[in-house]
Amino acid sequence: MSVTQSRMLPGSYEDLYERGMSYFAEEQYDEALPVFERLHARLSKLSDKIFKRRPDLRQLQLLSAEALAVLLGRQKEFERAEGLVQELIQLTAPQQAEARWIQMSLLYKIEGGSADFQTVMDELRAMAVMYPEDRWVWSMMGRLWLHQGNYAEAESNFMRALEREGSFSDSLITQTSLFKLYKDQQQFDEAEEAMKALWHDFGPEAKHPYPLYKMYLQNGNFKRAEYWLKQEKNPLHATFYQGLLAQKQGDENAARAFWQKTTAEDPDFFEDGQPSWANAAMRLEKDPLFIVEKLEALREDDDGLAAHTLLMLAIAHIRAGNLEAARKIFADLNDDPLKKSLLWEPELNAENWEIFTELIPNVETQEAFKAYFEQA
């Protein structure tokens, strides 16, 4: 909601709000934050008497507090963000709080780890009673149960979530989580159906068979892996995993032929698939410095490289003899601001360790880096 006046004085409450929202709309979050902090501090000093006379200022206080909470959440300052949301809820009492405010409060508790599992679950259940048709609350309960390894409770909550209307992101997270639930239990037919349902909901552009052929490769169902690999449109992924499939079937020559096709491509021309390219290049004993150069160039263009790409970069550094550069990457991956989250998953896990040991066969080097892999 936008608060405007026909004549807006510079430095007024309304001017600060509009300035902050302008920064927000342009994704200039660092500029928006101090504006909303200043506005919130000024409005917090006003008396109830003034708010009764000027209800527009009370509305502005609610809007600015919500915007500030969102900005603090983006900066992983979950305790401050959650405090602001509680302030919002108190300001509107005894009326029923906005569903999105309760969502924000619970999300910040979950991500910040300020409450234990049972406390958060009790609050989620209370929200589900208050807002039984809210998809988010059922999906979040499912995600927490899945993280706890309680598949029956997780599935029950995901199914309830899918019966309700919700946002694009809520639906995406729910379907993706349902896929993981079935995959973890080796219910592969159900996992495949969950992925197909996701594609159906979000259209042809959402169809990425990567999770399916990777799942089947890991579990030795080579026929289904081959079926889904044929539908992979990204040449980097397609040829690398075709090579991996050939290797698992005992045909090393065919595997190397596929990986030659992978490395013949220029990874700069693709939006994704660079980890597959790097993996193939290292399996073919390509110059590790060249691989480092390619992946470092990606990092210069994108500060938020995916963990798998950074894993490949670290391994390439090790193969090139740059052990300190690799340690820095692994340390950064483990220095996760969400480590206290009730939903936290380590970036470096058992699957990554398996890749690491395949590409770094030296046992001494493996031991030197093993501590970085939380689940190894």
pLDDT in tens, the chain (376 residues): 444 444 467 778 999 999 999 998 898 999 999 999 999 999 999 999 999 999 999 999 999 999 999 999 999 999 999 999 999 898 887 777 788 899 999 999 999 999 999 999 999 999 999 999 999 999 999 999 999 999 999 999 999 999 998 888 889 999 999 999 999 999 999 999 999 998 988 877 778 999 999 999 999 999 999 999 999 999 999 999 999 999 999 999 999 999 999 999 999 999 899 999 999 999 999 999 999 999 999 887 666 678 999 999 999 999 999 999 999 999 999 988 888 899 998 889 999 999 999 999 999 999 999 999 975 4
Of 184, 182, 179, nearest to 197 by C-alpha is 179
Alpha-carbon span 133 to 235, nearest angstrom:
43
Residue whose tokens read 């798998």: 308
Of 113, 166, 175, 109, nearest to 146 by C-alpha is 175
Query: What pLDDT, on a 0 to 100 scale, did the predictor assign at position 8?
Result: 60
Displacement of CA 326 from its chain's centroid (Å):
23
Cβ neighbours of 102 (radius 10 Å)? 23
Q: What is the DSSP string of 284-315?
A: TT--HHHHHHHHHHHHHH-TT--HHHHHHHHH
| Alpha-helix runs per DSSP H in 26-134 | 29-44, 48-53, 55-74, 78-92, 99-112, 117-130
Residue whose tokens read 């950064």: 332
Cβ neighbours of 366 (radius 10 Å)? 15
Per-residue pLDDT tens for 104-114? 999 999 999 99
Integer-rounded Cα radius of gyration of the chain: 25
Query: What pLDDT, on a 0 to 100 scale, did the predictor assign at position 141?
Result: 98
CB 217 within 8 A of CB 232: no
Alpha-carbon span 366 to 71, nearest angstrom:
41
Reduce the DSSP state of residue 160 to 3 states and report it: helix
Percent of the chain with pLDDT over 90: 79
Of 78, 56, 55, nearest to 5 by C-alpha is 56
Query: What pLDDT, on a 0 to 100 scale, did the predictor assign at position 6?
Result: 40
Query: What pLDDT, on a 0 to 100 scale, did the predictor assign at position 302?
Result: 64
Cβ neighbours of 79 (radius 10 Å)? 13
Which amino acid, one-letter code, is at 21?
A: M
CA dihedral of residues 152, 155, 156, 161 (deg, nearest 10) = 160
Which amino acid, one-letter code, is at 253?
A: N
Query: What pLDDT, on a 0 to 100 scale, did the predictor assign at position 375?
Result: 54
Alpha-carbon span 118 to 127, nearest angstrom:
14
Give the pair of three-digit tokens for residue 360. 């770094």
Alpha-carbon span 65 to 271, nearest angstrom:
38
Query: What pLDDT, on a 0 to 100 scale, did the predictor assign at position 306?
Result: 87
Q: Helix %, strand %, coil % for the chain, to 5?
A: 75, 0, 25
Displacement of CA 107 from its chain's centroid (Å):
14
Per-domain boundaries in the chain: 287-376
Alpha-carbon span 209 to 228, nearest angstrom:
6
Per-residue pLDDT tens for 331-366? 999 988 888 899 998 889 999 999 999 999 999 999
First to last CA, the chain: 49
Query: What pLDDT, on a 0 to 100 scale, did the predictor assign at position 93?
Result: 75
